[in-house]
Structure 1
Amino acid sequence: MSSDPIRATTVEACQSAQQMLAAMRHAVLAVNDPKTGHPHLSKIACQIDGAGVPVALLSGLAVHSRALAADPRAALLVETRADRGDPMTWPRMSLQVMAQLVADPAGLRERWLRAHPKAAVFIDLPDFRFWRLQPQAGFLNAGFGAAFRLTPADLGLA
């Protein structure tokens, strides 16, 4: 019996991770605060683009936007919610990402508004920009005894 609690990544784990990303509408973003060096967490609206890469629409006034501009290394926590039961048993995935401003957001605006229609109030304000959050590695906790390390290829991004 192995003492490593991480299982070999399976096709089912990859499919589960990809489904979590496809269903994602919010996530917790962790950035490195440039003033203190400490992690800073924010709950953000987030979804995938047409290539399956997480994208966020962020205000340039927000702490997390300034932090990403200073250091593009970040992390996302994506959760699957259930109607009941212990939240600690619900599937969740953490991703190490590299953030990059989207220079040409063509197509993202319409896709974003379909998933987040209330964003129509602020999406065109001058301080809002799309950020692509390119996964570098991940970790899926799919429930008790079901933990998997993930690569970009496992997420369908290679």
Structure 2
Amino acid sequence: MIKDPVRSTTDEARDKARQILAAMRHAVLAVNDPATGHPHLSRIACQVDAAGVPVALLSGLAIHSRALAGDPRAALLAETPGDKGDPMTWPRLSLQVTASVIAHPGSLRDRWLAAHPKAAAFIDLPDFRFWRLLPQGGFLNAGFGAAFRLSPADLGVA
């Protein structure tokens, strides 16, 4: 019988996952493509809001936006790139999320532009919307032999 390689979640794992989220400026978003039924991946600009929940600014013309409008279930992959070494050893966090359009982004626009100043060229175009990517659970790979399952509470998301 093979031993489960996933460890019991620790405070250090929770802290590492929250650090990855706090530092995140880009991520890979996986959606279910309604045209084919296959997963579709996109690299997106992504950061957390004041509550620590991932948010993205997405064009309504993009495949991933149309997919989320039909099926809000998605996945998000964020990583902490290292300066050198094998990328497979760099910490990374995968999340199962439920996406929803943020109808009234409030101060999120200013927060977004502070982190992504080049977004000023398109942030006010009529097809762009902010999306909340609410974590339903996740998986942290913090390096070789350091894998942890995470709940929304582990991520600091109520």
Q: TM-score, normalization: structure 1? A: 0.98
Structure 1 stretches of at least 4 aligned residues deviating more than 4 Å after TM superposition: none
1:59 pairs with 2:56 = no
Give the equivalent residue in structure 2 for 1:132.
Answer: 132
**SS of equivalent to 1:67:** helix
Q: CA deviation at 1:51?
A: 0.4
Equivalences for 1:8-157 in 2 at 5 Å?
A: 8-157=8-157
**SS of equivalent to 1:9:** coil
**SS of equivalent to 2:69:** helix
Q: TM-score, normalization: structure 2? A: 0.98
- d(CA) in 2 for partners of 1:154 and 1:78? 16
- d(CA) in 2 for partners of 1:123 and 1:136? 27
**SS of equivalent to 1:21:** helix
Structure 2 gap ranges (5+): none
Which letter maps to 1:77? L
Task: After superposition, give the CA deviation of every residue in 1:33-58 in whole Å (9 maximum; x if it has no partner).
Answer: 01111000000000000000000000
- d(CA) in 2 for partners of 1:87 and 1:48? 23
- d(CA) in 1 for partners of 2:125 and 2:108? 15
Task: After superposition, give the CA deviation of every residue in 1:19-44 in whole Å (9 maximum; x if it has no partner).
Answer: 10000000000000011110000000
- d(CA) in 2 for partners of 1:97 and 1:107? 23
Question: How large is the RMSD of aligned CA atoms in angstroms?
Answer: 1.0
